[in-house]
Structure 1
């Protein structure tokens, strides 16, 4: 079989084939890896990525990467074009080239990787402090959780009407689950009202940190030295660190069917090298309490309308199957997390 040229590889991946002409690079080979193209050069491998968001969003993403890199956290550096630009734009799509980091994707099912990921998240948040964020609409999320939750409750109420009047299998399943979801979202709002959310948000805003906002296992790389490095800052935003930490816990709760010890293990690992704020466990509880999976299923079905029905139905079934285990964990979470933070061990 005849080997494809580099331009053909880029074209097949949906990349502009001429983008590499803007760089002073000798490309030996190219191959797709997830959403990027891996470029082989005599000096080492690089990653070519395309970005479809706004100029301001890209600048925020690149500025966030530069900031933590300058503070010693391992993220890829950006390779500039011949004329010193950080990216190239063609037909509304922005392209940029980064260093290819040495490491493997983390495996959250492997306890040592999960511990490293939680510890690495704490180090990342420390490195993010003092960020001079470039202006970008939607990236400043300080103190917005309550408003977002209330808006999503209203959306779910609208979808409830659509589901009750619809005739699909998804409609029937969603109609059965959404009342409980609205109740859970309301409980999340109540938790925020009964927490130190405003004080913690104000304090962290003054420290000027930010969240990665997509701490999925494939964005968390484990280096040969067992350190954590991070890629894909597309969704980075300015918000309290509990946003990232709660998301990491939730990702693992779904995969281990809401095992409480896993949640406490993540909390323990994260706070081994950074001090908790008083009442932070309630903010984690509030974010975990919000029925994000149910909300996203409804959003995909009734707003975006671009997901296969069987995929969304499967998502609803998993949500329904895990509600009892989920409730048991959430009822005890704050007390269990406080014990971990006080004693440094899981009871």
Structure 2
């Protein structure tokens, strides 16, 4: 991960005063964001380390959600010039109010249900979005994406075989890679048998978008048990099934692929937004693809990231230790939602 610049307190006070006309009384840093005590109360201050177009896209997405009646996000505070963010020395910053809350805990059924309901409501509102800014577009591209990644997995296996002196990572990698390549090819076959193409064509008319990072820490739960969706940095154009499948996968991994948690999650989602049999089939294909293994293999054999060998080994063990439970989960999911 690249090192991000930090800002001293005097500089932050100057930026907030110039850009927003707000007086900062106290600054509390949290990694690369800051909690500010000001004359307007407690605020959230964040340097944005990406292109301005991405921040503009987030602004447009939030404006769209608000028009659709979804307001459980934290809007940007406008600058003195009425803009949603401030630029100082070619660096972008934004301010929001500070939400007193904690990251949701998916192990807590009450908070998981809150989070799932929030995502379902978000998905109902995240349609008809045609911003004048380019949006990363995954819609209709899953088959191509799966095939490209599978070719990369095979390339990774080939590259690993070229090592004159295999490390303990390669020895472990060779024990698992054939199985995961089979899983990747199976996911392609499963997706091909679904109505994914028809759903994608409908999506091109509906113009949906996804949050694309349904991690537990991107849902804040307040002391009054209100849930807020935060961090729209990875927003994409795609079917809502991308978010939903990712949410199921995250909970599967966190619970050693507990089917009861999956059933609880799906029931909670359908209390707000129904899931059709055709959509369940697409979700099943998406979950079958071994994304985590592809990502790790790509990092080592294609991107050649200089991570310590111990880290690579630890990650591979972590990602493969529950593969039997994962396969059982996928089989049960197939029976529970597709074959009845």
TM-score (norm: length of structure 2) = 0.89
State the match for 1:172 in structure 2.
Answer: 171
Structure 1 residues 141 and 257: CA distance shift in structure 2, 3 A: same
Aligned to 2:150: 153
CA pair 146-121 structure 1, distance change in 2 beyond 3 A: same
**Closer/same/farther in 2, CA of residues 306 and 48 from structure 1, 3 Å limit:** farther
Q: Report how far residue 276 of structure 1 moved.
A: 1.9
User: 2: CA distance between counterparts of 1:106 and 1:313?
Assistant: 30
Query: What is the distance in 2 between the residues matched to 1:192 and 1:63?
Result: 32
Q: Secondary structure at the match of 1:31?
A: strand
CA 1:164–1:11: 2 relative to 1, 3 Å: farther
Asked whether 1:65 is paired with 2:62, we answer: yes
In the alignment, the residues of structure 1 paired with residue 247 and residue 291 of structure 2 have an alpha-carbon distance, to the nearest angstrom, of: 13
For residue 90 of structure 1, report the CA deviation from its aligned partner. 4.6
- Compared CA separation, residues 78 and 318, structure 1 to 2 (3 A): same
Change (3 A) 1:97 1:202: same
* Aligned-residue CA RMSD (Å): 2.2
Q: Is the 8 A contact 1:61 1:235 kept in 2?
A: no
Deviation at 1:91, TM superposition (A): 5.6
Compared with structure 1, are the counterparts of its residues 202 and 83 closer, same or farther at alpha carbon in structure 2 (3 Å cutoff)?
Answer: same
Deviations, residues 145-175 of structure 1 (Å, cap 9, x unaligned): 1111111111111111222223332232223
SS in 1 for 2:322: helix
Instruction: Check 1:164–1:92 CA distance in 2 against 1; reply closer, same or farther (3 A cut).
Output: farther
Where in structure 1 do 4 or more consecutive aligned residues deviate above 6 Å? none
Q: CA–CA distance in 1 between the matches of 2:288 and 2:251?
A: 14
Q: In the TM superposition, what are the counterparts of 1:305-344 in structure 2 within 5 Å? A: 305-338=305-338
> How many residue pairs get matched?
329
More moved, 85-94 vs 123-132? 85-94
1:195 alignment counterpart: 194
Kept in 1, the 8 Å contact 2:45–2:96? The answer is yes
Paired residues of 2:22 and 2:40 also in contact (CA < 8 A): no
How far does residue 338 in structure 1 lie from its aligned partner after superposition? 5.0
- Which of these residues, 159, 162, 178, is aligned with residue 162 of structure 1? 159
Cα distance in structure 1, aligned partners of 2:239 and 2:31: 29
Say if 2:30 is the partner of 1:33. Answer: yes
Which consecutive residues of structure 2, in runs of 5 or more, have no partner in the other structure?
Answer: 1-5
Please tell me whether the aligned partners of residues 16 and 90 of structure 1 are also in contact (alpha carbons under 8 angstroms): no
Deviation at 1:229, TM superposition (A): 0.9
TM-score (norm 1): 0.88
Quote the offset at 1:140 in angstroms: 1.8
In the TM superposition, what whole-angstrom CA distance separates every residue of 1:174-233 from its partner, at most 9, and x where no partner exists? 232222111111111111100010111222332222110011111101233433211100
Structure 1: tracts of 5 or more residues without a match: 1-8, 343-347
1 CA distance for matches of 2:304 and 2:269?
35
